[in-house]
């Protein structure tokens, strides 16, 4: 009986995944349809079918309850309290409760000033809020405390990029990429920042040269090919679906893919298409991924660009 139940569960999960994949492919078809018309008339976002959003993590919710109960009921040293506040902040962050997360990160730093991870996490939230100077200070502090904390290096570059200082961000993305040239996402961010600070042709030359270090079996390598114009959006989606084994894995990949597809669409001036992609990335509810964290900033940028274009006409 138990074995039969497990088999039925596997069949159910497989059917659920197939249904989600079908919805994703239909979404891609609709997006392709959008791209064939002008930006002023190709508004099909209301008809898009989305992948099933991630449910709010039960583990994170229980972690919030546990840390809150402990912080108010038990006695801790300042160092211990700082660590618990940071962990609760991470749980809040993963649930999309960024104001509560920011308060916990800030309080943990008061208790433990030399807390590299807390400075980094606080800096990301400052970037999301367009508080760029505070973000720079947070990432500088993180790297001063722990120069090997590589996440702060990438996040500082992203903050500089969104703060209009892409030229300064290039050094950080270059260093970050050099630490692992096989990582497609490191390469994509270096390309995005490098293109902003120079031009499309120079950035593509760099991307084409660096592409050879990526592993073909990594689905995200297809995003580099997409930026080079070698493959289309459908090929990117096909690559990410290749070895998906769970709904959660699918949502994580879709969050990433839609963000980078949106970035390129926005660069090409396909604003409606870009908006749709960023909304699709947000719809996954993968709050802890930087692609989800910055998709809303990208939406605002696209809307400003569209308004500037309309005013210029």
What pLDDT was estimated at residue 45?
38
Per the model's pLDDT, the better-predicted residue between 4 and 122 turns out to be 122
Which pLDDT tens digit goes with each residue over 140-191? 999 999 999 999 999 999 999 999 999 999 999 999 999 999 999 999 999 9
What pLDDT was estimated at residue 211?
97
Give the domain ranges of the chain. 173-239, 245-305
Per the model's pLDDT, the better-predicted residue between 82 and 75 turns out to be 82
What pLDDT was estimated at residue 51?
67
- Give the chain's mean pLDDT: 86
Per the model's pLDDT, the better-predicted residue between 12 and 120 turns out to be 120
Per the model's pLDDT, the better-predicted residue between 58 and 13 turns out to be 58
Tell me the average pLDDT across 21-45.
42
What pLDDT was estimated at residue 52?
80
Confidence check: pLDDT of 48 > 70: no
Place 57 in a pLDDT band, splitting at 50, 70 and 90.
confident
Please choose, from the candidates 57, 297, 48, 65, the residue with its C-alpha nearest in 3D space to the C-alpha of residue 192.
297
Place 28 in a pLDDT band, splitting at 50, 70 and 90.
very low
Confidence check: pLDDT of 43 > 50: no
Contact partners, residue 268, CB within 8 Å, separation at least 6: none
Tell me the average pLDDT across 4-29.
46
Least confident of 91-95, 295-299, 307-311: 307-311
Confidence check: pLDDT of 37 > 90: no
């Amino acid at each position: 009986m138990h074995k039969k139940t497990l088999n039925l569960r596997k069949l159910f999960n497989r059917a659920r995944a197939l249904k989600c994949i079908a919805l994703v492919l239909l979404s891609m078809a609709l997006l392709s349809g959008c791209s064939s018309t002008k930006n002023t008339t190709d508004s099909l976002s209301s008809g898009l079918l989305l992948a099933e959003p991630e449910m709010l993590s039960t583990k994170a919710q229980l972690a919030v309850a546990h840390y809150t109960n402990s912080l108010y009921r038990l006695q801790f040293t300042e160092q211990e309290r700082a660590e618990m506040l940071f962990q609760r902040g991470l749980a809040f962050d993963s649930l999309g409760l960024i104001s509560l997360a920011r308060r916990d990160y800030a309080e943990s730093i008061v208790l433990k000033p030399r807390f590299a991870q807390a400075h980094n996490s606080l800096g990301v939230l400052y970037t999301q809020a367009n508080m760029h100077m505070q973000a720079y200070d947070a990432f500088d502090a993180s790297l001063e405390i722990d120069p090997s904390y590589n996440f702060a290096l990438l996040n500082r570059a992203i903050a500089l990029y969104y703060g209009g200082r892409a030229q300064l961000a290039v050094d950080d993305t270059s260093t970050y990429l050099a630490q692992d040239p096989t990582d497609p996402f490191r390469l994509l961010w270096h390309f995005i920042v490098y293109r902003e600070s120079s031009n499309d042709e120079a950035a593509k030359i760099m991307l084409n040269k660096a592409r050879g270090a990526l592993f073909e079996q990594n689905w995200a390598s297809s995003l580099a090919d997409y930026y080079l114009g070698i493959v289309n959006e459908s090929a990117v989606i096909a690559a990410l679906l290749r070895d998906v084994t769970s709904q959660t894995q699918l949502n994580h990949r879709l969050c990433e893919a839609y963000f980078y597809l949106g970035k390129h669409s926005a660069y090409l001036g396909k604003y409606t298409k870009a908006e749709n992609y960023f909304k699709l990335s947000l719809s996954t509810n993968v709050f802890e991924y930087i692609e989800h964290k910055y998709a809303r900033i990208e939406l605002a940028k696209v809307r400003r660009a569209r308004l500037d274009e309309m005013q210029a006409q």
